[in-house]
């Protein structure tokens, strides 16, 4: 079948998506949430499956980033927080300003509590998404989405996910979804209403997420890519670090081998200087402001 002009199939019980442009690159859907063990065997299954892809890409686990002897690779830069205990994070990893923001949130009357996945949760999430069409200098792709679509999109990995809500006077003003693997966790979603920014609900949600992960003995908490300067500064202040995670490419066809040798698998972020990427990000933010 196809989804958003991208082929999607299942191989060995794992969902695979394939890009539509040459070279057609296959990868695991939600690859960071489903660590791949035994990549050699999986690549062999791909070659036998008649999948219409030229190459396959995969990333290492966050807790196993030893380079593999493969010729084609780039680096994913992701935001990761090493976790030991909540107290250690709060006292040693957290900067002074966000530490004070967590305290400010408590004094302002923000209440953080776990939530079940149900229609009440989705209604609260929809209200948060529909507050504004622009988020962090980008178009809000969830703005005005219908209820059924949001419920489907947030129903992934329910058996190993926690939902956390931030409330002020019975109003849900923020939420977070954290998904767990056997050794690390991923902050899949975190968002709060802009009109309640003065109460620091996002800082309170991060604090509760760290507490949940520490109780599960997660070694790391991942929070998306390490990208735009303003967001990366926010992540660093909250204890996240830039992790370089190897991304590997394996040819499936002769066309794939040719494309990899020509470097066609490399992304603009792998080629352009960081100052150019930051300039483009700043320009987009000004245009959408």
| Alpha-helix runs per DSSP H in 86-200 | 86-88, 96-107, 119-129, 147-153
Q: What is the extent of the structural domain holding 256?
A: 2-75+247-288
Do 88 and 205 lie in one domain? The reply is yes
Say if 226 falls within a structural domain.
no
Say if 229 falls within a structural domain.
no
Do 8 and 48 lie in one domain? The reply is yes
Do 214 and 254 lie in one domain? The reply is no
Do 197 and 164 lie in one domain? The reply is yes
Do 164 and 210 lie in one domain? The reply is yes
Do 157 and 102 lie in one domain? The reply is yes
Do 209 and 117 lie in one domain? The reply is yes
Do 212 and 257 lie in one domain? The reply is no
* DSSP secondary structure of 171-188: EEEEEEEEEE-SSEEEEE
Instruction: Tell me how many domains the chain contains.
Output: 2
Distance, CA of 245 to CA of 248 (rounded, Å): 10
Distance, CA of 223 to CA of 84 (rounded, Å): 17
Cβ 180 vs Cβ 161: under 8 Å: yes
Q: What is the pLDDT along the chain (289 residues), one digit of tens a residue?
A: 333 345 567 787 788 999 888 899 999 988 888 877 778 888 888 888 878 899 999 998 887 777 777 889 888 999 999 999 999 999 999 999 999 999 999 999 999 999 999 999 999 999 999 999 988 778 899 999 999 999 999 999 999 999 999 999 999 999 999 999 989 999 999 999 999 999 999 999 999 999 999 999 999 999 999 876 778 899 999 999 999 998 999 999 999 999 999 988 876 666 555 665 556 555 655 554 5
* Cα angle 86, 91, 95; round to 5: 110
Q: What pLDDT does residue 38 have?
A: 75
Say if 236 falls within a structural domain.
no
Do 153 and 105 lie in one domain? The reply is yes
Say if 230 falls within a structural domain.
no
- Identify which of 180, 117, 128, 177 has the alpha carbon closest to the alpha carbon of residue 152: 117
Q: What pLDDT does residue 145 have?
A: 95
């Amino acid at each position: 079948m196809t989804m958003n002009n991208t082929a999607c199939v299942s191989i060995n019980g794992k969902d695979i998506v394939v890009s539509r442009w040459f070279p057609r690159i296959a990868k695991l859907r939600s690859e960071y949430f489903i660590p791949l063990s035994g990549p050699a065997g999986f690549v062999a299954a791909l070659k036998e499956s008649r999948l219409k892809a030229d190459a396959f890409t995969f990333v290492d686990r966050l807790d196993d980033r030893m380079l593999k002897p493969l010729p084609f690779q780039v680096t994913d830069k992701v935001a990761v927080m090493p976790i030991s205990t909540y107290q250690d994070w709060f006292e040693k990893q957290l900067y002074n300003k966000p530490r004070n923001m967590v305290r400010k949130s408590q004094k302002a009357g923000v209440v953080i509590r776990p939530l079940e996945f149900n229609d009440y949760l989705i209604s609260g999430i929809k209200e948060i998404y529909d507050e504004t069409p622009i988020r962090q200098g980008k178009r809000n792709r969830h703005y005005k989405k219908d209820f059924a679509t949001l419920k489907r999109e947030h129903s992934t990995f329910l058996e190993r996910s926690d939902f956390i809500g931030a409330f002020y006077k019975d109003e849900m003003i923020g939420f977070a979804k954290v998904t767990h693997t056997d050794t690390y966790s991923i902050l899949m979603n975190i968002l709060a209403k802009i009109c309640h920014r003065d109460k620091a609900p996002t800082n309170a949600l991060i604090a509760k997420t760290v507490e949940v992960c520490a109780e599960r003995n997660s070694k790391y908490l991942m929070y998306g890519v390490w990208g735009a300067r303003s967001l990366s500064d926010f992540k660093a202040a909250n204890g996240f670090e830039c992790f370089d995670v190897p991304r590997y490419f394996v040819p499936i066809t002769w066309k794939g081998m040719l494309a990899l040798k020509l470097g066609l698998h490399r992304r603009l972020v792998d080629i352009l200087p960081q100052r150019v990427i930051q300039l483009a990000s700043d320009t987009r933010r000004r245009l959408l402001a």
